[in-house]
Amino acid sequence: MSDLLLPLAIVVPILAATLPLLFGPRYDRIGWPIAAITTVSLVGIAASIARIVFVEGPPTEYGIVHELGGWQRPYGIELVADELSASLVVLVALVAAGTLVFSRVAGPRGNAFYSGYLLLTGGLMGISLTGDLFNLFVFLEIVGLTTYALVAADRSGASAYASIKYLLVGTVGASLYLVGVGYTFLATGSLNMIDLQATIATVGYGDPLIRAGYALIVVGLSLKIAVFPLHVWQPDAYQRAPDAVTTVIAALVSTSAAYALLRITYTVFTVEFLAANDGITNAMLLAAGVSILVGSVLAAMQSDLKRLFAYSSVAQFGMIVAAIALANETALLGGIIHLLGHGLLKFGLFLAVGLLAYGYGVRRVADLASLARRAPYLSGAFVVLGLALVGIPPSIGLLGKWYIALGAVEAAGGGDLAALGIAAVMLVSTLFTLAYVARIIEQLYFAGADPGPGDAGSTASAADGPTGPGTLAQPDGGRTEQRDVPTGAFVVLVVVALIAVGLGFAGFAAADLFGPFLGRMI
């Protein structure tokens, strides 16, 4: 019975996506309530899935399995929830619900937006749960198409341009993935992930079709993940999209593509394939290393806040790809933690940037000058999340990076020079991350015009009001400024910051939770 939750997690948001359009002509603002009810119920579904997988123990060795239409394994499409997919499902549900709190105030408005939003959620659930290579392509496309639409949701010229850029690049990525799946299908005659595991082994890991298929899949997904040379769509898309949209796509869209790469690498092609193809793993490590380095450098050079964190994502996803290619247990654990942790951190950071933009009109690093005076709590949460991104303990950011770096050093101990390079590059990248986060902290707390002698707080808020017509001269108190920062979204931000710190203590728990998964994979 428990497997019924899997199709529900996908079908419920997709069916709910029709409702805002259906009732739209009659009720003007029906979109948000429908989306809220749906995402809250998704949180419930995700929690039940996680409970079954982690607490009660999954019913089969592969996790919860649901065969669509009752068709058996090699032929039918399966939905599968194991430890990894269950945790991603929880992340998707939480972020989808959390973003709604912000989008209610910040927009974009309109029933059509919420239809797209729910479809995106359904597609992300599908990526997390599907056990079929072609079905994964379908869900990647659903996520892609809805993301293109949502990026352009505020109908400005700049966002339309960013969206079409993303559309062109994303379509190439999806096509390459599909060609890769085609090669694999040609060699094996199967599309089911669990079945392919055995079939690929039979065909042989050195088979040119299998190798080419994997290479094409990696390149296609790298376009979606935005690894360095293939990242060109990503900064524009993140910067130009409406704030609420950036929050959700930065947290989930590339994350789900990275999940897909991890899933395909380990469940379909398996670690033996990586071991048998040094050329492919070394190429992946090289690309990942360059991505880590260049992403950090470019991030440190940015002046726009959203663009800065967009480039930072390029670097962080480089680490995740490196963890996948390193193929040892420690690095893979780090990759999983960083995949989830980075999603959470970017959700919080972009939410904070969105709130700062909403409340104070802040868009650039320089705009942050002395803002901590007027918005102490908001700035505090922002800085905590930024430090977590650097990897200052205790934080989820540290855990992920630590395990990846440790895995790289372990691999380097085995004589793998590329892994040594990854470890070095990660250290350099962390320094760059510290550099740009420190720049933000410096602006927030130490830069800007000194309001002069006297009562600093009230004169500051009365004097410098670069934006906001209603300058409310309140003494500083976090949530009383030009435009009130919405309390609900602020609470979500604080909770995310606390979780990001709290999970920093959960290293051993994570090792326990994902232990069975790692045992099966490696």
Chain residues that interact with another protein, rule: CB under 8 A: 3-4, 7-8, 11, 14-15, 17-18, 20-22, 24-25, 66-70, 110-113, 115-116, 119, 122-123, 134-135, 138, 141-142, 145-146, 149, 155, 160
Cβ 20 to another protein, closest distance in Å?
8
What's the alpha-carbon Rg for the chain, to the nearest Å? 23
Judging by beta carbons within 10 Å of its beta carbon (0-12, 13-18, 19+), is residue 503 exposed, middle or buried? buried
Cβ 107 to another protein, closest distance in Å?
13
Cβ 210 to another protein, closest distance in Å?
22
Cβ 245 to another protein, closest distance in Å?
13
The residue ranges of DSSP E strands in 383-502, in sequence order, are none
Nearer to another protein, 60 or 303 (CB): 60
Distances (CA, A) of 181 to 76, 211, 268, 287, 455: 16, 11, 11, 22, 66
H/E segment holding residue 502: helix 487-502
DSSP secondary structure string, 373-393? HH-HHHHHHHHHHHHHHHTPS
Cβ 252 to another protein, closest distance in Å?
16
Nearer to another protein, 159 or 443 (CB): 159
Nearer to another protein, 120 or 375 (CB): 120
Nearer to another protein, 143 or 411 (CB): 143
- Nearest Cα to 229, choosing from 157, 328, 115, 314? 314
Residues for the chain: how many in total?
522
Contacts of 204 (CB under 8 A, 6+ apart): 210
3-class DSSP state of 271: helix
Contacts of 151 (CB under 8 A, 6+ apart): 159, 162, 163, 166, 237, 240, 241, 245, 249
User: To 5 degrees, how large is the angle CA 168–CA 181–CA 46?
Assistant: 80
Q: Which two tokens stand for residue 476?
A: 């500083």
Q: For residues 249 and 172, what is the distance between their CA atoms, to the nearest angstrom?
A: 19
Nearer to another protein, 139 or 517 (CB): 139
Cβ 153 to another protein, closest distance in Å?
8
Judging by beta carbons within 10 Å of its beta carbon (0-12, 13-18, 19+), is residue 280 exposed, middle or buried? middle
Cβ 144 to another protein, closest distance in Å?
9
Adjacent-strand bridge partners of 81? 64
Q: For residues 20 and 35, what is the distance between their CA atoms, to the nearest angstrom?
A: 9
Q: For residues 18 and 117, what is the distance between their CA atoms, to the nearest angstrom?
A: 11
Nearer to another protein, 1 or 55 (CB): 1
At position 490, the amino acid (one-letter code) is: F
Nearer to another protein, 84 or 167 (CB): 167
Q: Which two tokens stand for residue 428?
A: 């350099």
Cβ 114 to another protein, closest distance in Å?
8
Evaluate whether 17 touches 122 at the Cβ level (below 8 Å).
yes
Evaluate whether 313 touches 226 at the Cβ level (below 8 Å).
yes
Cβ 131 to another protein, closest distance in Å?
13
Phi-psi region of 471 (alpha: psi -120 to 50; beta: other; left: phi over 0): beta
Alpha helices in 130-192 (DSSP H): 133-151, 157-188
Adjacent-strand bridge partners of 304? 364
Cβ 145 to another protein, closest distance in Å?
5
Cβ 1 to another protein, closest distance in Å?
8
Q: For residues 463 and 469, what is the distance between their CA atoms, to the nearest angstrom?
A: 13
Nearer to another protein, 22 or 198 (CB): 22
Cβ 69 to another protein, closest distance in Å?
4
